Chains A and B, each alone.
Chain A
Amino acid sequence: MDKKIEFAVAVIGAGPAGLAAAAGAAGAGAKSVVVIDRDNRAGGILNQCIHDGFGLHRYNESLSGPEYAEREKQVLLNYETAGKITILSETFVQDLIPESYGFPLAVMSTGSFRIIRAATVILAMGCRERTAGAISLPGTRPAGILTAGTAQRLMNIQNINVGRRAVIIGSGDIGLIMARRLTLEGAEVAAVTDIQPYPGGLDRNVRQCLHDFNIPLLLSTGVVKVHGNKRVEGITVAQLDSKNRLNLQTSTYIPCDTILLSVGLIPEHELARSAGAALDPATQGPVVDQHLMTTVPGLFACGNVLQVHDLVDFVSEEAEYAGACAAEMALNQFRSTGRVIQSGNTILPIKVGSNLRYVLPHTISKPGRVTLSMRVTAPEINFRVCVARLEKSDNRILLTKTFTRVSPSEMLRFAFNCDTVEPLEVYGESF
């Protein structure tokens, strides 16, 4: 019976999250870490993000995506030469089954299938884009409708032009970045639309990607119909009324040959689900404790598979920590007992209070430093987030953080010294 544990930590995905998780694990003393990616080049989504704006916090520089990835790969080099980290490229992790003894990973690479066994596993598979089907785009389905990320890959890696006149549905950062990219390449962007009354992406991107080129941003605007049989010929959009219904009196036809969708990202959570981890309906990623461990003991998550990030710097920070926690568990608990169990401490839930869409982590199992991440439900000015004891009492508030301005497009993240073992609530309010 071959049940040898080959690796202390297995990391699935070699994007910025996977790379930093591996470095974090090796840095915490893990002597055998494997990073597995289906792609032939490490770096994940960063390889196609040729715009700059990456690394402002981590490297104090405005790098492009591939440059940021390169820096992260450099960090791993020493560990790789020392034989502590192995990167397996062009290898797809198909399944993940927790057993009483470590995790067997079913992996496929060209022409071969095998089982890799690890003491702990870190999920770092990133996320995928919502598609035309996911938002029930009305009208025909001709050629020329693609997600903004697919267009980005075609244009920036494969040198394939996507169209001459585009309308971009959704004003998330990827849509805004692509509006500028198309314009600089000589295509025309007729409009960017969003159903929300505020833009989905960062203010800086609205300014530099749309205003600079006089590209109209149509807010509170929905799609009435896509036109065209073989190829997209145009799109009809209309304003939404106060009840979010299309006001057809405002219908406008915009001729275009391309429609890009930038309508949200969903964590690539299939492996988490097949391993039996609980998912959070708000983030669509796994439920985690303060050590970023899922509800399956020994299975960790970080990066976009855990929560969709807007800044890669936070992805790296989060992933390093997940790596260190996974290594620690593999080195201590696993080595002495041959298994990984949930900590003996009581697990206290964090309640998501008013004005917040989600809060991470979901639970706290022991006092200590906890990094909280969250998103608000709507843009606000002069806003504060309070961390409080769930139990109503006079001095229930443990920490207050104030923000001049908050928006659902920007993740809020701060550390908190948790010295209590009572259930907590995190809520937001304007002041």
Chain B
Amino acid sequence: MNLSDQEKHIVEELTCIVCPKSCVLRVEKDKISGAITAIHNANCQRGTAWVTQELLHPTRSVCSSVLVENGTEPLTGVRTNQPVSRDDVFKVMEAIKSCRISAPIAIGEIVLENPGGVPCRVIATRSVDLTLFAAD
């Protein structure tokens, strides 16, 4: 089988997010193996590193909310303290959804360690005071 160059490759365009310059990187990937065969338009090393990571091992911060008992508000915001593998996002979410904490909550407080077995911490991003009224 003799595939022409065009058929062997897929081209993806990504806007680099490393700095505000926002270079548009053109990446050629092997259609079958998914391996990166060329990166065009990268003006710096950091851009090349970012695009390689983003295409081969993307990571994401997970942001959500957690139920708060006895608080002046029913929820606090939470986020992972570092990005996790994109494939683990829903595992982290499951752990966050089944979690309940009690007021008062301070910003930065650790809510979960290694949620769903994923190596990271989930920390609170909004403070919630203890309510003076009995829970209704």
Q: Which residues of A contact B (CB under 8 A)?
A: 47, 50-52, 57, 62-67, 70, 155-159, 181, 184-185, 203-204, 207-208, 212, 381, 404-405, 410
Residue of B23, B24, B77 near A66 (CB, 8 A) is B77
**A65 neighbours in B (Cβ, 8 Å):** 77
* A50: chain B residues within 8 A (beta carbon): 63-65, 77-79, 125-126
Q: Does B14 contact A (CB under 8 A)?
A: yes
Set of chain A residues within 8 Å of B24, measured between Cβ atoms = 381, 404-405
Q: List the B side residues contacting A159 at CB < 8 Å.
A: 65, 67, 74-75
Contact A156 B23 (CB under 8 A): no
- Closest B residue to A160 by CB, please name it: B74
Asked whether A204 lies within 8 Å of B64 as measured between CB atoms, the reply is: no
- Is the C-beta of B73 less than 8 angstroms from some C-beta in chain A? yes
Asked if A212 and B60 sit within 8 Å, CB to CB, the answer is yes
User: In the complex where A66-B126, A405-B15, A405-B22 touch, is A52 in contact with B63 (Cβ < 8 A)?
Assistant: yes
Return the chain A residue nearest B107 by Cβ. Answer: A70
- Write the nearest CB–CB distance from A429 to chain B, whole angstroms: 19
User: 14 A-B Cβ contacts within 8 A?
Assistant: A50-B65, A50-B77, A64-B77, A66-B107, A66-B127, A67-B107, A67-B125, A67-B126, A156-B75, A158-B74, A159-B65, A212-B86, A405-B15, A410-B22
Residues of A within 8 A of B20 (CB): 57
| Given A64-B63, A381-B24, A404-B21: 5 more A-B contacts, CB < 8 Å | A50-B64, A156-B77, A184-B89, A203-B15, A405-B23
Q: Which residues of chain B from 1 to 51 have a CB within 8 Å of any chain A CB?
A: 14-15, 17, 20-24
Q: When chains A and B are docked, how far (Å) is the Cα of A131 from the Cα of B41?
A: 41
In angstroms, how far is the closest chain A Cβ from the Cβ of B17? Answer: 5
The distance in angstroms between the C-alpha atoms of A55 and B77, with both chains bound, is 17
Q: In this assembly, does B61 line the interface, its C-beta being within 8 Å of a C-beta of chain A?
A: yes
Given the interface pairs A70-B127, A157-B75, the reply to whether A62 lies near B14 with Cβ below 8 Å is no
Question: Is A157 a contact partner of B73 (Cβ separation < 8 A)?
Answer: yes
Within 8 A of A (CB), among B67-94: 67, 73-75, 77-79, 86, 89-90, 93
- List chain B residues, Cβ under 8 A from A203: 15, 17, 22
Total number of B residues with any Cβ neighbor in A under 8 Å = 30
Interface 1/0 per residue, B96-129 and A, CB below 8 Å: 0000000000010000000000000000011100
Per the bound structure, the CA–CA distance linking A51 and B22 in Å amounts to 21
Q: When the two chains form their complex, are residues A64 and B74 in contact, meaning their CB atoms are under 8 A apart?
A: no
A184 touches B125 (CB 8 A): no
Q: State the CA gap A418–B24 with chains docked (Å).
A: 32
B23 cross-chain contacts in A, Cβ below 8 A: 404-405
Q: Select the residue from A64, A204, A410 with max chain B CB neighbours within 10 A.
A: A64
Residues from chain A with Cβ under 8 Å of B89 in the complex: 184, 212
The 3 closest A-B pairs by CB, nearest first: A50-B77, A203-B15, A66-B126
Interfacial chain B residues near A51, Cβ < 8 Å = 63
Inter-chain contact A404/B22, CB cutoff 8 Å:
yes
Whether B22 contacts A64 by the Cβ 8 Å rule is no
B61 interface neighbour in A62, A67, A410, Cβ under 8 Å? A62
A47 touches B126 (CB 8 A): yes
User: Using Cβ atoms and an 8 Å threshold, which residues of chain A touch B62?
Assistant: 184
Contact of B125 among A66, A155, A157, A158 (CB under 8 A): A66
- Nearest-CB distance from A152 to chain B (Å)? 11
**Complexed CA–CA distance, A57 and B86 (Å):** 25
Q: In the bound complex, what is the Cα–Cα distance between A307 and B60 (angstroms)?
A: 30
Identify B17's interface contact among A70, A204, A381, A405, CB under 8 A: A204
Bound Cα distance A404, B20 (Å): 10
A51-B62 Cα distance, complex, nearest whole Å: 8
| Chain B residues whose CB sits within 8 angstroms of the CB of A208 once the complex forms | 60
Q: In the assembled complex, which residues on chain A have CB atoms less than 8 Å from the CB atom of B78?
A: 50
- CB–CB A207/B63 < 8 A: no
Q: Specify which chain B residues have a CB less than 8 angstroms from the CB of A212 in the assembled complex.
A: 58, 60, 86, 89
Chain B residue with the shortest CB-CB distance to A66 = B126
Bound complex: CA A381 to CA B62 (Å): 32
Q: How far is the CB of B119 from chain A (nearest CB, A)?
A: 18
Q: What chain A residues lie within 8 Å of B21 (beta carbons)? A: 404
CA distance in complex: A158, B14 (Å): 36
- Given contact pairs A70-B127, A184-B89, A405-B24, A204 touches B15 in the complex (Cβ within 8 A): yes
Contacts of A63 in B (CB 8 A): 125
| Distance between Cα atoms of A158 and B61 in the complex (Å) | 23
Complex CA–CA separation, A47 to B79 (angstroms): 14
Q: Which residues of B contact A67 (CB under 8 A)?
A: 107, 125-126
B90: chain A residues at CB < 8 Å are 184
